[in-house]
Amino acid sequence: MKKLLSLLLVLAIVLSFVACTKSEKTPGDVTTSGATTTTTVEVNPFEEFFEITWLTQLNADWRENRWDELELEDMFNVDLQVWAEDGRNTERMAALFAAGDIPDYFFAPGTPRDPYGLFDEGITRSITLQQMKDWIPGYVAAMEVMPVGFLYNLVPGKTDEYIGFTHNNLPSCQYFYDATCINLDWLEAVGYGFDEADLVPVKMTVEGYEQFNDNIFFTEGNFTFEEMNDILKKFTEEDPDGNGMDDTFGMLYMIESAWTNMTQEGLFGFVHDLNYRYKDPTTGDIVPKYAYTPYRDYLAWVSENLTKGYMIPRPGVEGWVPEYQAMSGTNKYGIYGANGGGYLALNSDTYRVYPPQNILLTVDPDARFVIGPMFRGPEGKLVDATYGIDPYGTGTYRVQQIGAQVDDAKLERICRILEYTTFSSIDNWNRYKYGIEGIHWKWSGDPYISTMLVTPTAELAEEYRGQLHVFGLWNYASAVQKQIDNAEKNGYWAYMPYMHANGLFEKYALNPVKFTAEAYMGRELFAAFTKDNTEINAQLNPIINDFKNRALAGEIANFNTEWTQYIDQLYANGLQTMITKYYNNAEFVEYDPGLKFKIKE
């Protein structure tokens, strides 16, 4: 009876599982008016019973007959046999797959083959786009926001059939990892302050650090390139900290990375990621950053400031992390490339060691900083790289798969379960990812816009313990509107909500002409590119490194002349081949951001 009631319930609440009806005429159904009555028979869409083996990345602590397993078994007339395994454990996965133990549904990054290898060997099966539309429409709808997702993980030679479910993490391409951070006290000391009305204060989210609510602000600075250079000079040559000593500097120069885009190379219209491709203004070719003419101007600018002492490089004795932490923690530099959210994690050993929070916590608790897009390059440009170019990916950590032994009927049932847990409602998404509200977690304030407060494991009853997020797809919707709502209603302004609320994310995010990845190039072209790129890079890298090293050492007297020679060397040593075969190739599709700048929830 329990299963029957559950089945009737799911028929009522899951719109995508509409039961078929049929009308039958039977003798005696004629009324006095001559009309016929219709007998409606409910058809149970889950009448056939299935045993489904299930393995996900973090199942090692699985407890049989857990609450979520029992719920779904009752609803969908299945026996979910969850394997107590960690799908990342390469040794265990190798043993299982070698023995032919293949789960019906799995997310196992530790498998001995990548997803294409498993498919090619007949270990997994495919799913067509039409099957997805019929059985898991929420997955298709989520992909349509950025349609390039339909190019990921295609069956070779197909345009509408896939080797599994591609992960979709929209928030990963809707934020900047880095931001420019300036010592606000220093800025005012050298005559470049902000109107107080333009400064939005941060509100700390960690209890015990509220005293820093008036120390960090967000704003959009509009300093010109000339003004930036003047600020670098004054931070170095004047006394912005007022201690009467000549011991301050404009900024730390860091090797280009995810920490430097907005503060360094973004001023010249490119970012650190070597997969971005640009149309060069001189040659008209599509090229990597090292052959992009603005890269010349960037290196010339860095070289000049290093020579003058306005920028200070790391010693390069240790790794960049300990050196950056140590140097920034002295509070002797005015401009930093900072993590775009780390300043909120003042109780985190991972993030409290970076600026500006390391300065507030250890050097000067009264210091003030301003964070945001601040400076423009020589042509008025400023760009930054989104953390991910799009929400998708390939490889073992980005695809969930189906065993080859699964027939269409069982695959449909698996899809129905995933549709229910992942796409049917935000409440269900929260339930099967984070657990039961009031038991595993609670809202810190207003539902859906405030922070989830997670119940410590030690405070949970035994039946509610264990790793969650077992029965859903890796699909994360945009959190932009929730963040903005929380900021506007409760004052919890942070860097990215500020950027989104003011239209600054789309304004400063760089859209490359092309992006080198399998989905954009096609599997065969990308495989050929990977091979050629490895071989030709062996010839190009010494040329690239030599030019940059001499630039940073101040050994290039005329950048224009030496750039021409440098470019000629690159083209002669394989770059021309890469441009002709790949970068300018029409089969390598141009990048399209889809709706990533528009969708907010």
Q: Tens digit of pLDDT for each residue in 555-592?
A: 999 999 999 999 999 999 999 999 999 999 999 999 99
Q: Enumerate the β-bridge partners of residue 161.
A: 128
Tell whether omega for the bond before 112 is within 30 degrees of 0, i.e. cis.
no
The answer to whether residue 16 scores a pLDDT higher than 60 is: no
Domain membership of residue 315 as a residue range: 178-385+514-583
Share of the chain above pLDDT 70, in %: 93
302 and 381 both lie in a single domain? yes
**Residues 6 or more apart whose Cβ sits within 8 Å of residue 103:** 53, 54, 55, 83, 403
Query: How many independent structural domains does the chain possess?
Result: 3
pLDDT of residue 40: 63
154 and 216 both lie in a single domain? no
Residue 597 domain flag: no
Distance between CA atoms of residues 107 and 167, nearest Å: 10
pLDDT of residue 41: 63
115 and 10 both lie in a single domain? no
163 and 192 both lie in a single domain? no
84 and 32 both lie in a single domain? no
| Complete DSSP assignment for 177-201 | SEEEEEEHHHHHHTT----GGGPEE
- Please give the single-letter amino acid code of residue 206: V
Q: How far is CA 370 from CA 179, 310, 331, 366, 516, in A?
A: 10, 20, 14, 13, 35
The domain spanning residue 74 has which CATH number?
A: 3.40.190.10
Radius of gyration of the chain (CA): 29
Last residue of a domain, one of 422, 451, 478: 478
Residue 75 domain flag: yes
128, containing H or E segment: strand 127-128
Average per-residue pLDDT for the chain: 91
Q: pLDDT tens digit string along 429-477?
A: 999 999 999 999 999 888 988 888 899 989 999 889 988 999 999 999 9
Least confident of 265-269, 356-360, 487-491: 487-491
Distance between CA atoms of residues 370 and 75, nearest Å: 52
Which three-class secondary structure state does DSSP give residue 86? coil
244 and 376 both lie in a single domain? yes
Q: pLDDT tens digit string along 84-105?
A: 999 999 999 999 999 999 999 9
**Residues 6 or more apart whose Cβ sits within 8 Å of residue 378:** 225, 267, 268, 297, 301
The answer to whether residue 30 scores a pLDDT higher than 60 is: no
pLDDT of residue 346: 86
Q: Residue 290: which of 278, 305, 304, 306 has the closest Cα?
A: 278
Q: Which two tokens stand for residue 459?
A: 């405070």
pLDDT of residue 194: 95
210 and 273 both lie in a single domain? yes
pLDDT of residue 345: 86
Distance between CA atoms of residues 112 and 110, nearest Å: 6
pLDDT of residue 132: 98
Mean pLDDT in residue range 174-185: 97
93 and 6 both lie in a single domain? no
319 and 188 both lie in a single domain? yes
Mean pLDDT in residue range 327-340: 95
The answer to whether residue 143 scores a pLDDT higher than 80 is: yes
pLDDT of residue 526: 96
Distance between CA atoms of residues 379 and 402, nearest Å: 51
197 and 345 both lie in a single domain? yes
